[in-house]
Structure 1
Amino acid sequence: MSVLVSVEGAGVVLGGRQALHDVSLQVGAGELVGLIGPNGAGKTTLLRAVLGLLPCTGRVETRGAVGYVPQRHEFAWDFPIDVAGAVLTGRTRAMGRLRRPRPADRAAAGRALELTGLAALRRRPVGELSGGQRQRVLVARALAAEPELLLLDEPFTGVDVPTQDLLNELFGRLTAEEGKALLMTTHDLAAAARTCQRVVLLNRTVVAEGGPEVLADPERMLRAFGLDRAMGGVSA
């Protein structure tokens, strides 16, 4: 199995406090790995460190193109752009900021729209979308970059059941058929148990990892979700 992200002994300090310490994990091609932990555990911080957006100690390495799906509140939904335009922004790195989209860029964005069931909404302003549709736009924008590694921050939060089902099916296709590596933070333990090949319990450091059965282990779940009270909260 080809390893697409490798983190060894990573640490991040935010605002003078240790947000992450001695974090080690790997995600390989064809894997969907769930990153589970309480609020303030450092899940989003870890994704941003993998993206190179935060300085960290230790070693973080990625292979191939990386796509990122942020939490919905991080996108400017009042910006005057339609669905197709928003998804096409996922090609900015490939295009360059001042270049016009090439046929290959439009084709990649078009495929992402098809994969996420948004093709019929391509001309709708993003400000008119429902919460589930907005989540699919963020996933499509990340997929437009044609990544080998996809980082997802709480993709199931606040979405309806049909959107959850669509995303679950899509994530399974991306891993099983296309060999992509997915690292996903989520508070939805049931969804993680159904869809993830592995889960990593995080509370500033890796508390436990293994198959979905880890989520049914009371001792390890208590360690992951109980440590936060003893150590004090740090924003994720």
Structure 2
Amino acid sequence: MEEIISLRDLLGILRKRLILILSITFTTVCISAIVSFIFLTPVYQASTQILVNQSKNDQNGYNASDVQTNLQFINTYNVIIKSPAILNPVIDKLNLNMTSAQLNEKISVGSEKNSQVVNITVRDEKVENAVKIANTVAKVFKSEITDIMSVDNVSILSPATAIEGQSPIKPRPLINISIALIIGMMAGIGLALLLDYMDNTIKNEQDIERFLRLPVIGIIATIDNNQLDYRDSGRKTRTSRTRGDSVGF
């Protein structure tokens, strides 16, 4: 049996289950806020840029072939930056209590398309550590690449710096709470519709016609108890007056 729910019916269902929807939404928002502010550790980010330029030994000036050669080497440089050959000296210089694999997870390297600028980004729970690691990686790479590839065409373009009052990149409590609000409302509305769909009790004459396929030939009106009490009291008053008049006669 195909059922069609009108907009009025839908609004009626949501209005009837409004407390349920609000409760689920409020619960998800509270959980998201507690997790974001208390349980999740803030993570900060610092970035530095290095420039892959022309070799200092070349005195003939820039040309297209030099630029193209440097661009081809950038992918190789990106791999070398995250290799133990660079990360192990960084760990030794900063006395980090971690392995090169653990440090590798904190570092991301990338460059824009057809750009000779390489971005080294470090994420850490302390902004000072992120800045130190980023700058140290750039310095170690600049010094070690000469021995690794026998080239001298890397320079530090923009060192990482710590900004006062810098906000963490994650978690973002407001974004998390907003997402939880939307998810909570969707879950509440979905549960309200599911409960109404599973509710097969007969509530009115429309339900009789819809579920039982039977015509309604009569309706028993709802009588207010206050009206019954008022009518009973009026009937008793009239009866007592009638009896009083009979006795007087």
What band does the TM-score fall into relative to the shorter chain? Answer: under 0.3
Bigger proportion of residues as strand: 1
Bigger proportion of residues as helix: 2
Q: What is the TM-score when the length of structure 2 is the normalising length?
A: 0.20
Q: What is the TM-score when the length of structure 1 is the normalising length?
A: 0.21
